[in-house]
Structure 1
Amino acid sequence: MPPKPSSQRTPSLNRSLIRATGAVCLATAGLLSGSASSVEAETNRPTPVPVQVATAGAQNVPVFVTALGTVRAFNTVTVRTRVDGELQQVLFDEGQDVSQGQLLAIIDPRAYEAALQQANARLQQDSATLSNAQLNLDRDSRLGKDDFVSTQTIDNEKAQVAQLTAQVAQDKAAITSASVQLSYTRITSPISGRAGLRLVDQGNIVHATDTTGLVVINQLHPIAAISALPQDSIAAVRNALSAGTTEAVALSREDGQVLATGSVALIDNQIDTDSGTVKLKSVFPNADDALWPGQFVDVRIRVGTLDKALTVPAGALQRGPDGTFVYAVTPDNRAQQVPVTVGQIADGIAVIKSGLAEGQPVITAGQYRVRPGSAVSADATDEGAK
């Protein structure tokens, strides 16, 4: 019997199906593998670092000289008694603002009033004696013309009148002195200012020789700051003063905040040979009491202007082992470390002497996540340099 054709083709057909199925599986595996590799590559690609940038720009920049200063009262007076006696009354409060001529204290005046009365009485007595001596002289001078009184007597009477005239003048001076001494029992403020702590309490005996005084008064409006200026800055400050630019700004030592604005009063007349500095006095209105005697401040003086200086925000500056640098942003949004030479830094603006070009973008915030070559994304633009 001949074999059945269907039975002969079955193994061959099965092998074809197996090969086809394997090919499909291999293709599917290849597609899946390629897709996984693409996802992995996308996942491993670094995410751009979000940063803020500003463009280096040219502008006119004021030039400053800054020196450490100590705030001092414009005037300081230690109020002392000029006579001895009991301090009967204290008429000021500690910390009170007082005016020039204001009564501050009273010393027991009774002894000085008595001395003035004695001086007045002595003047009256000597004036009466002088009047009598003058009458005698006038009468004897008339009689002397007829030789009823000797010339010697008249000469003696003239001398007596002269002596009594001098005595009357002395009595008047004594009255003036006694009046002055009495006035010293009323102690007044020699300046307008603020009273400090009371140094002597009411009821104590005070003396003109006491060194502590009764109270210290400081004039705070205006107020002064004395700063030590390096000798190589003297010429710049003098030129600014000659040009009429005398603005001085007092800055906080803690955070650089502007405390007061005033003017330069003078440069001292000699340089300290030990420190190579010269004292500079600046005066501030101090209406808000922002400055206080003894306070340390930075005194900033404007001495000129840099025309069209290249500037960036001070926040763009970074410091490394090789010096100061900034991160510039390349056209393909990569961070590039650029060394720079910096001039002055003031009010958040840094002057760049070399290293950058005008219009070059620099990173001003977010640098702590950036490395040279890092991809960056500018989320915001800092206009601080413009």
Structure 2
Amino acid sequence: MSSPIPEPVAAAPLAEPPAPRPPSRRRRWLGSLAALLVVLALGAGAWYLIKRSNEPTGGRAGFGPPGSTVGHAVAQRAELPVTLDALGTVTPLATITLKPQVGGVLTEVLYTEGQAVTKGQLLARIDPRPYEQALMQAQGTRVRDEAQLEAARVTLARYRTLLTQDSIARQDVDTQAALVKQLEGTVITDRAAEAAAKLNVEYTRITAPVAGRIGLRTVDPGNTVTANASTGIAVITQMTPIDVQFAVPQDRLPDIETQLAKGAALPVKAMDRTRSTTLDTGTFSTLDNVVDTSTGTVKGKARFANAQTTLFPSQFVNVQMTLRTIGAIVVPVTAVRTGPTGSYVYVINEDRTVSMRPVKRGESTVEVVAITEGLEAGEKVVTEGGDRLKDGAQVLLQGDKPAATPRQGASGPRARGEGRRRQPPPQ
């Protein structure tokens, strides 16, 4: 007998998940506290960084390495020349274009291009034969007219004798006297023509009017030249002595006029483009008579011997003129800095700290500057490395040995670890 089949049992319905419980008050309080701690930590870190950035570069006392090495110089009293620096142009005393005074064939050129010539030296020659013939003709005319004048004078003397004997009319005497005067004028004219012919013959010899350096040749022998040609046959430039023209600020005019009134010779140096080499030394000569309103300067000239011909016409040079010398406390130019309140220097104290001290500048040169207020002779100032310094910073001078880095305070991690010994592992 078969067993009865059990009836299927209906499955129990699935239980619904419980609804999420709202966070408790304790958990919310802990979250707010954690956020507050994060904000406080960020604020403390920012405050520490700002405070550290305001500390001197050399670091706080007892923490970190000492300050960086800086260059220094000692303020000292010296005679400082008051100078005027300008850009000048070399100007020759004379630049002469050799132009023929008569026309003709250029038969000889007796100079070499770029040659140094002396005054009166024969440089070229024009064919003189036409002018020599004209001179001979003028001489012949003069001799003929002088002979006629002599004959007229003899006749006039005879007429005057006859007039005293009442053997000739006075009108004939007066006419003969007028003829003598006429012939005298003719002879004077002949002599002038003869002198002009002689001058033309001399003009066929072209000579140097001044000593200097001759330029490039523009006409070759065999060419026909004309009188007073615009180009000429060459140009002579006087090299020794030579002038340098430069601009003087109008504010410096009283100083220059005062020194010139005393009869003082103002020395002037002409230097090359880099101001590293002195080409020649000379003296100030003169000022122009008017101020250029567009630049506020006056043209000045200085004269140089130029014995070595180191100055070349139209060359640009750096001019340095010494007006006077003054006694002052000087420091290198690199020691003086400019801030919002004016000029200042970093003074190095005995404990190797620096103090920022305002100063008043005076006259200066390319290398040093005068300090009229704020600094005494013998004090040390920073010349290099001042860009990374602050007032009160610790520095090292060149040649100083850096001190050993001190350890941190007892509150540091190293102090807390000092004195501890490694415990042996438990057995």
Matches within 5 A, 1:189-200: 189-200=208-219
In structure 1, what is the Cα distance between the partners aligned to 2:268 and 2:208? 31
TM-score (norm 1): 0.78
1:333 paired with 2:336, answer no
Structure 2 CA distance for partners of 1:135 and 1:64, relative to 1, 3 Å: same
Distance 1:95 1:327, change over 3 A: farther
Return 191-200 or 115-124, whichever deviates more: 191-200
The reply to whether residue 272 of structure 1 matches residue 272 of structure 2 is: no
Question: 4+ residue stretches of structure 1 with deviation over 6 A?
Answer: 319-323
Deviation at 1:206, TM superposition (A): 1.9
Paired residue for 2:314, among 294, 299, 321? 294
What amino acid is aligned across from residue 192 of structure 2 in structure 1? A
Question: How far does the alpha carbon of each residue in 1:159-212 deviate from its partner, in whole angstroms, 9 at most, with x for none?
Answer: 222211211111111111111121111111111111122232222222223122
**Residue identity opposite 1:107 in structure 2:** I
Aligned-residue offset at 1:306? 2.1
2:181 to 138, 162, 166: 162
Give the structure 2 partner of residue 224 of structure 1: 243
Whole-angstrom CA distance in 2 between matches of 1:317 and 1:290: 36
Which residue number in structure 1 is paired with residue 303 of structure 2? 283
In structure 2, C-alpha distance between the alignment counterparts of 1:95 and 1:48, rounded to whole Å = 63
Q: Do the aligned residues in 1 keep the contact of 2:72 with 2:397 (CA within 8 Å)?
A: no
Question: Matched residue pairs, number?
Answer: 335
65-74 or 254-263, larger mean C-alpha shift: 254-263
Residues 250 and 259 of structure 1 are in contact (CA less than 8 Å); yes or no, is this contact kept in structure 2?
yes
Pick closer, same or farther for the CA change 1:341–1:155 going to 2, 3 Å: same
Change (3 A) 1:112 1:302: same
Judging changes above 3 Å, is the alpha-carbon distance between structure 1 residues 83 and 320 closer, same or farther for their aligned structure 2 residues?
Answer: farther
For the residues of structure 2 that align with 1:89 and 1:319, how far apart are their CA atoms? Answer: 69
Which residue number corresponds to residue 202 of structure 1? Answer: 221
Q: Is the 8 A contact 1:52 1:379 kept in 2?
A: no
Residue type at the aligned position of 2:312: W
Partner amino acid for 1:93?
Answer: T
CA deviation vs aligned residue, 1:10-53 (integer Å, no higher than 9, x gap):
xxxxxxxxxxxxxxxxxxxxxxxxxxxxxxxxxx9436644442
Shift of 1:376: 1.4
Structure 1 Cα separation of the partners of residues 153 and 364 of structure 2: 87
Corresponding position of 1:98: 117
SS at match of 2:274: coil
Deviates more, 1:225-234 or 1:58-67: 58-67
Greater strand content: 1
Give 1 or 2: higher helix fraction.
1
Deviation at 1:320, TM superposition (A): 7.1
Deviates more, 1:324-333 or 1:186-195: 324-333
Question: Cα deviation per residue 1:110-146 (whole Å; 9 max; x = unaligned)?
Answer: 1111111010010111122222223333334333444
> CA separation of 1:203/1:152 partners in 2, compared to 1, >3 Å: closer, same or farther?
same
Offset from partner CA, 1:329-385 (integer Å, 9 cap, x none): 2322245555544333325222123443332212345x28954435313229xxxxx
Per the alignment, do residues 220 and 323 of structure 1 end up closer, same or farther by CA in structure 2, a change over 3 Å counting? farther
**Partner SS for 1:113:** helix
1:376 lines up with 2:381 in the alignment = no
CA distance in 2 between counterparts of 1:374 and 1:127 reads: 108
Identity rate of aligned residues, in percent? Answer: 39
Q: State how far apart, in whole Å, the 2-side matches of 1:87 and 1:144 are.
A: 61
CA distance in 2, matches of 1:337, 1:199: 68
Gaps of 5+ in 2: 1-62, 401-427
1:80 aligned onto 2:85: no
Following superposition of structure 1 onto structure 2, how do residues 8-157 of structure 1 map, counting pairs within 5 Å? 45-46=64-65, 49-157=68-176
Contact 2:70 2:386 in 1 (8 A): no
TM-score, normalised via structure 2 length: 0.71
Q: Do the aligned partners of residues 335 and 249 (structure 1) sit closer, same or farther apart at CA in structure 2, a change above 3 Å counting?
A: same
Map of 1:176 onto structure 2: 195
Q: Report what 1:14 is aligned to.
A: none
* 5+ long unaligned stretches in structure 1: 1-43, 381-386
Q: Assess if the C-alpha contact under 8 Å between 1:231 and 1:277 holds in 2.
A: yes
How far did 1:96 drift?
1.3
SS across alignment from 2:321: strand
1:258 counterpart residue number: 278
The answer to whether the 8 Å contact 2:346/2:386 transfers is no
Does structure 2 conserve the Cα–Cα contact (< 8 Å) formed by 1:83 and 1:208?
A: yes
Q: Equivalents in 2 of 1:254, 1:76: separation in Å? A: 28
Distance, in Å, in 2 between the alignment partners of 1:282 and 1:330 is: 47
Write out per-residue CA displacement over residues 209-259 of structure 1, whole angstroms, 9 at most, x where no aligned residue.
Answer: 312222222222111111111111100111111223322222334235432
Contact 1:249 1:301 in 2 (8 A): yes
Report SS of the residue matched to 2:145.
helix
Preserved contact between residue 50 and residue 379 of structure 1 (Cα < 8 Å): no
Amino acid at match of 2:246: S
- Name 1:305's counterpart in structure 2: 325
Distance (whole Å) between structure 2 residues aligned to residue 81 and residue 194 of structure 1? 19
Whichever of the two has the greater Rg, that structure is 2
Computed over aligned residues only, the root mean square deviation of the Cα atoms, in angstroms, reads 2.6
